[in-house]
Each structure stands twice: as C-alpha cells, then as structure tokens.
Amino acid sequence: MSEKVYDLSQLEELAGGSQEFVMSMVDTFLEHTPSQLEELKSAFSSGDLSAMGGVAHKIKPNIDLFGVHSLKEEIRLVESLGKEGVNSPDLPSTINKINDVLQLAFQQLTAHKNG
C-alpha cells in the first residue's frame, strides 16, 4: 500500500486514548465526506462557485482533523476562490488533486478501520 495520506495523531489526542471515539469519527468521515466531495465536484462542474466554496468550507475541518496535510492549502484555496466567485485557471487541477487524495484517504481509512 502507498504511504498514508492521513495522520490520526490530532484525532487520537482529541480522543484522549479512546479508540472507540477515533473509530466513530473515522466512520463519520467515511459516511459523509465522499458525498461532500461529490457535491464539491458537481458545484465546480456546473460553475456554482459559491456552492463550491461552501462545500469546501464543510470539508476543511475534516481535512485538518484527519491530518490530510497535502490538501491543507488546496481546500482553503478552493474555499476562498468560491467565496470570492473567482474561476481561477488553477481550479481544475486543484479539484482533481483534492479528489485523488481524498479517494485514497477513503480507501486507506477503510482498510485501517477493517484492520
């Protein structure tokens, strides 16, 4: 398997040693974030930059909490461009990177959960 794209150390610290809490949060992440990612891509594809920025805002705390450090700047850029209504030439590649890394995170976290 490739190198982990996530880091649970912040979540584990927040959990105070409770693996049950960590697994509950992983379940919640895997339950909600894939559909939010689809919303993000759909909003971008339809040119609804405001909605795109709003969905990026919802995804951002999960990227931070789950230590997906390679997307820390990208999700903030998408959020900011969306809120400002700016269709930057960098958006397609940034959205693709967010998609690719999160898809990998979903696979890796599912494997981690199933242990």
Across the 115 residues of the chain, what is the mean pLDDT of every consecutive 10-residue run?
88 94 97 98 97 98 97 98 96 98 98 90
User: Which architecture does CATH list for 9-114?
Assistant: Up-down Bundle (1.20)
**Burial class of residue 9 (count of CB atoms within 10 Å of its CB; 0-12, 13-18, 19+):** exposed
Domain ranges of the chain: 9-114
What's the pTM? 0.95
Question: What's the confidence (pLDDT) of residue 39?
Answer: 98
The distance of Cα 69 from the centroid of its chain, to the nearest Å, equals 10
pLDDT at 1: 47
- Greatest alpha-carbon span in the chain: 44
**What backbone phi and psi angles, to 5 degrees, belong to 53?**
-65, -40
